[in-house]
Structure 1
Amino acid sequence: MRSYLKIAKSTLLCPLILVSPVQASAVTLNIIDQHQQPVSNAVIEILNSAEIKGSPTNIAVIDQINKAFVPEQIIIQQGQAVDFPNSDNIRHHVYSFSEAKTFELKLYADKPEKEIVFEQPGVVVVGCNIHDSMIGYIYVAEHQFFTSSDLGVAHIAASAESSPQISIWHPYAANGAESRQTFEVNQLEKNATGEYIVEIELTPPPPRDSFEDTFGAIGHH
């Protein structure tokens, strides 16, 4: 059976997600942290679904408002571009040195000269080289089917017998903001309501003014 996802309500921006109608065999994931609390905004990707073909033509946007990236995290597809407009009345210097994408947009106001294309899948942590309180996250999906959790709940519209293999990412993961965990759904335990339980370990969000200390820097200008 071909696996596909129902998109849960989320504060994440998901600009291009391929989905199909939900079937009766939908699997529900209950994503909790080490304190048994529901986890929102975890990104779930089905690793044994089809890979993305071609490059998406629509451009995702991360704005800069009141010295913050808005939204703080987005999901895009491999090969998709992201625009980083600056809506503040001060200049910003956006950069990342993540393995999935290293780039730099030197001090600018309004709009940068060009968008940034994210050719490789993975997680990209974005900062401002002037304002260390600015931290953003871009999840670059390799496969066609992905979603995010809403109050700990996410739906995979596929039978557990089809052995969906998933990865789960959250920016506050204890083993690092760029790390992901993988699971075989049919090997997970169920709760009393039949939801598959996925427990991930989280750490508190990075303190503000800490991008350089937490993720490193490329040198102030």
Structure 2
Amino acid sequence: MSPCRLLFASALLANSTILSATVTIAVTDQHGAPLADAVIEIADTQPTVENTDDIAIVDQIDKAFVPDQLVIQQGQLVDFPNSDNIRHHVYSFSKAKAFELKLYADKPEQPVRFDQHGVVVLGCNIHDTMVGYIYVAGDKRVETTNEDGLAHFADDIQRVSVWHAHQTTGPEQLTHYDLGQLNQTREGRYQVTVDVMPPPPRDTFKDTFGENFQP
């Protein structure tokens, strides 16, 4: 074989190896439409805490959390600056992190460390329309689906957890899937269906958790 053909064959082999090592997960809603902003995390191992001084930001702008959905690593710090010209009272009663930042303007005294794996639902005790979500990942291999409902992983994985802010199973529930039990498309994508409900007109804590919610 000539050097040029050998080089071309090597390139094809390398490219096919890269493609075969890529795992793509396609998430759709109950109607078959691609579902963006679903968080997919590798669930092959137990979460471990590695505290870091890296600080993520959830701002408050025009009476809304910005971003309204944030993915961080377990043990990471989050700061909650207030860019509004009014005071806010940020809190959560989620199992993964219950905390409270009482009425403040500008910036709280210190960031909050999120050391438990799971989903933290944020609210403001003054402005009930403010709702946000922090997904605390226990594995560094975590992705959010794009507009086509796709997430790509380079590793050889066996099990994943899937979460979406508007899933019908509740805002803090993680659903686990073994890849071997999932259907695959012709392109080899693993298919996951998540039942979701449309965001209510006023996306509030009571809307999110139901009428029986008591802060």
TM normalised by structure 1 equals 0.83
Per-residue deviation, residues 51-96 of structure 1 (Å, max 9, x unmatched): 4452122001000000000000100111111100000000000000
Measure the CA separation in 2 of the matches of 1:210 and 1:192: 40
Asked if structure 1 preserves the Cα contact closer than 8 Å seen for 2:88 and 2:104, the reply is yes
RMSD: 1.7
Compare CA radii of gyration and give the structure with the larger one.
2
Asked if structure 1 preserves the Cα contact closer than 8 Å seen for 2:47 and 2:117, the reply is no
SS for the counterpart of 1:214 is helix
Q: 1:23 aligns with which of 14, 18, 25?
A: 18
SS for the counterpart of 2:24 is strand
Output the amino acid matched with 2:184.
K
Measure the CA separation in 1 of the matches of 2:204 and 2:50: 37
Larger relative helix fraction: 2
Report what 1:138 is aligned to.
Answer: 134
Asked if structure 1 preserves the Cα contact closer than 8 Å seen for 2:54 and 2:76, the reply is yes
Report what 1:38 is aligned to.
Answer: 34
Alpha-carbon deviation of 1:97?
0.3
Measure the CA separation in 1 of the matches of 2:29 and 2:178: 18
SS for the counterpart of 1:197 is strand
Indicate whether 1:54 and 2:50 are aligned: yes
The percent of aligned pairs where both chains have the same amino acid is 52
Measure the CA separation in 1 of the matches of 2:118 and 2:91: 16
Q: Which runs of 5+ in 1 are unaligned?
A: 1-21
Output the amino acid matched with 2:152.
H
Measure the CA separation in 2 of the matches of 1:58 and 1:210: 30
Measure the CA separation in 1 of the matches of 2:57 and 2:68: 11
Asked if structure 1 preserves the Cα contact closer than 8 Å seen for 2:49 and 2:138, the reply is no
TM normalised by structure 2 equals 0.85
SS for the counterpart of 2:18 is coil
Indicate whether 1:191 and 2:185 are aligned: yes
Report what 1:94 is aligned to.
Answer: 90
Alpha-carbon deviation of 1:210?
2.6
SS for the counterpart of 1:96 is strand
Label 1:55 to 1:182 Cα distance change in 2 as closer, same or farther (>3 A).
Answer: same
Per-residue deviation, residues 8-53 of structure 1 (Å, max 9, x unmatched): xxxxxxxxxxxxxx93320111110100000111111101157445
Label 1:104 to 1:35 Cα distance change in 2 as closer, same or farther (>3 A).
Answer: same
Report what 2:69 is aligned to.
Answer: 73
Q: Which runs of 5+ in 2 are unaligned?
A: 1-16
Measure the CA separation in 2 of the matches of 1:209 and 1:148: 21
Report what 1:155 is aligned to.
Answer: 152
SS for the counterpart of 1:45 is strand
